Amino acid sequence: MQAIGIDIGGTKIAGAVVTESGDIVAEDRVATQAHDAEAVVDAVIAMIERLAVGREIVAAGVAAPGFIDAAQSTVYYTPNISWRNEPLRDRVRARVPFDVTIDNDANAAGWAEFRFGAGRGFRDMTMLTIGTGVGGAIVSEGRLFRGGYGAGAELGHLRVVPDGLPCGCGAHGCIEQYGSGRALLRMANEMADAGGIGLALAEARERNGQLDGHLVGELIAAGDPGALRALETLGHWLGATCASLSAVLDPQVFVFGGGVADAGDLLLDPVREAYRQHLPARGYHPEPLFVIAEFANHAGVVGAADLARQHAAGLGR
C-alpha cells in the first residue's frame, strides 16, 4: 500500500507517493504562497488529490516547519506561514478519503533516515541537520520523540554558550549560532578578516563581493587551510553538543544531514574529537557512530508518508 508525503517548505511544497519500502513512485511540487495561509491549505489538498488519482492510497502525511502538537493534528505555530493553532489535519482529512497526519518537517526527515537511510538497523538515533540553521530529530527505542506537547527535539536551540550570540528564537547562545551553515559563513569571514591562513577566503570574498556557502564549500573541498579551520571550529561546537546529547539520550548513532554535511569526514572528524573531549565519564561510555545522512532532498516527503502509514496502521510512531 502506498502513502502520500507532503513537505511544506518556505519556497515550495513538495509531494510524493511513497511505497512501504521508502521508494518514491510519483512526485509533484508547487511554489508556496507563504503570504496566504488559506492558499497553502488548498495547495496541499490539491496536491494530495492529484497524487492519489488512480492509486490505492492508505494515508497522507504532511510535514511543516514549526510546532506541531503531539497528536499530529494541529500546527501551533509555523515561522513563515501565518498558521496559529491551525487544525490542519482535520481540514485536510475532511477533503480526502484516507487517514491524515501532520508532523514537524525535521522530525519527518529524521524518521526517513531512521527507517530507510543512515539510521536504519538502529533503535536509538539522533539527527542534526546542518543547513542555514540547525534542525534535529530524535528516535528513542524505535519511536519518534515528540515530547509531551509535540514541541520537543528542537536541538538547534540547545544553549551552548551562556550569554552568547543572539538567536532568531529570541534566546542567546544556541548551537544554531555556532554549528549552522550561517555560523560557518561567519567563521569563514572572521578567518578572511584575520589574514594569514584566511588569505584564500579573503581573495574569494573580494572576487565575489561576499562569501557564500558554495564558495566556502569549494575551498573546503580544495583543502584550503582557512576554510578547513572554520569547518573544524564548527565541528568542535557540534561535537561538544553531541556529548551533552549523549548524556541525556545515549543514541547508538548520530546522523548529520543538511548542506554542510556534504563535507563528510572533514566535518565528522572534529565532531568525533570534540565529542570525546566533552563526554562525561569518557572511556566508559560506549561510543556512538557518527555518519552522514543518506537522503538528500526527499527525506521530508518519505518520512511524512511513512509516519502517516504507521499512524493509519495503528502503530502511532
Nearest to 48 by CA among 317, 313, 316, 308: 308
Integer CA distances (angstroms), 290 to 23, 63, 112, 230, 231, in order: 25, 26, 17, 20, 16
Nearer of residues 100 and 242 to Zn ion, judged by Cβ? 242
Nearer of residues 4 and 138 to Zn ion, judged by Cβ? 138
Distance CA 49, CA 46 (A): 5
Q: How many CA atoms lie within 13 A of 153 on its CB side?
A: 34
Residue 68 has which C-alpha cell?
A: 506541531
For the CB of residue 135, give the shortest distance to Zn ion in the complex, in Å.
12
For the CB of residue 65, give the shortest distance to Zn ion in the complex, in Å.
14
3-state class of 155 per DSSP? helix
What dihedral angle (degrees, nearest 10) is formed by the CA atoms of 44, 297, 138, 121? 120
For the CB of residue 168, give the shortest distance to Zn ion in the complex, in Å.
6
Nearer of residues 183 and 243 to Zn ion, judged by Cβ? 183
For the CB of residue 154, give the shortest distance to Zn ion in the complex, in Å.
8
Q: What strand order describes the sheet that includes 75-77?
A: 67-68, 75-77, 84-86
For the CB of residue 178, give the shortest distance to Zn ion in the complex, in Å.
11
Nearer of residues 157 and 298 to Zn ion, judged by Cβ? 157
Nearer of residues 142 and 166 to Zn ion, judged by Cβ? 166
Nearer of residues 157 and 272 to Zn ion, judged by Cβ? 157
Nearer of residues 157 and 205 to Zn ion, judged by Cβ? 157
Residues composing the chain: 317
Residues binding Zn ion (CB under 5 A):
157, 167, 169, 171, 174
Distance CA 156, CA 237 (A): 12
Distance CA 261, CA 257 (A): 5
For the CB of residue 171, give the shortest distance to Zn ion in the complex, in Å.
5
Q: What is the 3-state secondary structure (H, E, C) of 202-270?
A: HHHHHHHCCCCHHHHHHHHHCCCHHHHHHHHHHHHHHHHHHHHHHHHHCCCEEEEECHHHHHCHHHHHH
For the CB of residue 157, give the shortest distance to Zn ion in the complex, in Å.
4
For the CB of residue 187, give the shortest distance to Zn ion in the complex, in Å.
18
Partners of 86 in the β-ladder: 75
Nearer of residues 126 and 310 to Zn ion, judged by Cβ? 126
